[in-house]
Amino acid sequence: ATPTALLVGTGRGAQLGILIKGPEVLESTRAVDTIVLDKTGTVTTGKMTLLDVTTTPDTDVDAVLRLAGAVEDASEHPIAQAIAKGATARVGSLPTPESFENIEGRGVQGIVDGHLVLVGRRSLLDDSALTLDATLEAAMASAENDGKTAVLVAWDGAARAVLVVADSVKPTSAEAITQFAELGLTQILLTGDNKTVARRVGSEVGIEQVIAEVLPEDKAAVVQRLQAEGKVVAMVGDGVNDAAALAQADLGLAMGTGTDAAIEAADVTLVRGDLRSAADAIRLARKTLGTIK
Ligand code: ADP
Ligand code: MG
């Protein structure tokens, strides 16, 4: 393609809400045959809500919300924000943790009111050899059965509560996925979340292939494995835990509503945070490069 045609292509992209880093990106966009979609914040709104709290018999709900809310308030994760918001609504202002640590893809921990508090998925508690009593096991199983995310809360060496959070699929996601299929792309839903949630979201929007329970540092490796199989891979993400995968992909597409790290790592920014723009980008690249050859 001539430099002018490429510039026209990128200019047309800007009008469609697709910011392309350089004209050379159009070539990899055209060649893409596989599209990997991050779940949270990409296919779903990422705006989670705290729906339910179950505690062990001798634990006070307000204490759970105060301690878990305080630690999550220090995190940017959509789950964390839902918990902090739900906690504030019920118990009022939250204390500031004396220490805070984000354990990527698993949860958070911090010291609040002198207690070491853990909030996150089961593997976070496994590391400290914490087990769940029957009440918590049942609450967790029921949440996951419903395709919701169960978050565990522990402090002072005991698991004490299950918080249930969920978000919803974006209204435009199913249509985008139909368009990817029409473009002949293989689609894969990639998430750190559990298999049940991943499958529920996948079937809601029409994606059959789901890779779940992937740690943030392994997301780039999944992309790399597909590339090793000869696939030309596009990855769409919001940058929460997937900036490295966006950089690894042949074509990284960041949701404009995502993090600065995502936008930096990606080749293309979808300004409106609308997944359909990814299909627009691929059509545009095929058109721009196809007509001029
Ligand atoms: P996704 O791939 O869907 O964007 P992440 O990789 O960010 O998800 O997180 C994977 C899982 O780790 C979440 O589904 C959740 O169970 C747990 N998790 C991560 N961060 C937090 C947090 N701040 N609070 C509670 N749980 C968390
Ligand atoms: Mg994400």
Minimal-distance CA residue to ligand 1 atom 17? 106
Can 242 be counted among the known catalytic residues? no
**284 in the same domain as 265:** yes
**157 in the same domain as 78:** yes
For ligand 2, an ion, list residues with CB under 5 A: 38, 40-41, 240
pLDDT digits (tens), the chain, 293 positions: 678 888 778 888 888 899 999 888 988 999 999 999 999 899 999 889 999 999 999 999 999 999 999 999 999 888 999 999 999 999 999 999 999 999 988 999 999 999 999 999 999 999 899 999 999 999 999 998 888 899 999 999 999 999 999 988 999 999 999 999 999 999 999 999 889 889 999 999 999 999 999 998 899 999 999 999 999 999 999 988 889 999 999 999 999 988 888 899 999 999 999 999 999 999 999 988 885 44
Q: Which of 143, 166, 189 is the last residue of a domain?
A: 166
Please tell me the distance between residue 59's alpha carbon and the centre of ligand 2 in angstroms.
31
pLDDT at 293 (0 to 100): 43
Domain containing residue 62 = 49-166
The total number of structural domains that make up the chain: 2
Nearest to 53, CA basis, from 149, 161, 215, 175: 161
**59 in the same domain as 15:** no
For a mutational test of ligand 1's pocket, the pick from 162, 170, 193, 238, i.e. the residue with the most ligand atoms closer than 8 A to its C-beta, is 193
Alpha helices in 207-275 (DSSP H): 216-228, 243-248, 260-265
What number does the ligand 1 atom closest to the CA of 190 have?
2
Q: Which of 150, 166, 182 is the last residue of a domain?
A: 166
**212 in the same domain as 243:** yes
The span from the CA of 64 to the CA of 83, in Å, is: 11
For a mutational test of ligand 1's pocket, the pick from 42, 67, 106, i.e. the residue with the most ligand atoms closer than 8 A to its C-beta, is 106
Region of residue 107 (phi > 0: left; psi between -120 and 50: alpha; otherwise: beta): left
CATH at 242: 3.40.50.1000
pLDDT at 259 (0 to 100): 85
**158 in the same domain as 56:** yes
CATH at 107: 3.40.1110.10
**116 in the same domain as 67:** yes
**134 in the same domain as 201:** no
Minimal-distance CA residue to ligand 1 atom 21? 107
Least distant ligand from the CA of 216 = 1
Half-sphere exposure of residue 24, counting CA atoms within 13 Å on the CB side? 1
Site residues for ligand 1, CB cut-off 6 Å? 38-40, 72, 75, 77, 79-80, 105-108, 119-121, 149, 151, 191-193, 216, 240-241
pLDDT digits (tens, 9 = 90+) for 223-257: 999 999 999 999 999 988 889 999 999 999 999 98
Q: Which of 166, 196, 214 is the last residue of a domain?
A: 166
pLDDT at 291 (0 to 100): 53
**16 in the same domain as 152:** no
Interface pTM (ipTM) of the complex?
0.93
Minimal-distance CA residue to ligand 1 atom 9? 105
**178 in the same domain as 275:** yes
**263 in the same domain as 219:** yes
**74 in the same domain as 8:** no
pLDDT at 241 (0 to 100): 83
Please tell me the distance between residue 259's alpha carbon and the centre of ligand 2 in angstroms.
10
The span from the CA of 3 to the CA of 21, in Å, is: 15
**87 in the same domain as 180:** no
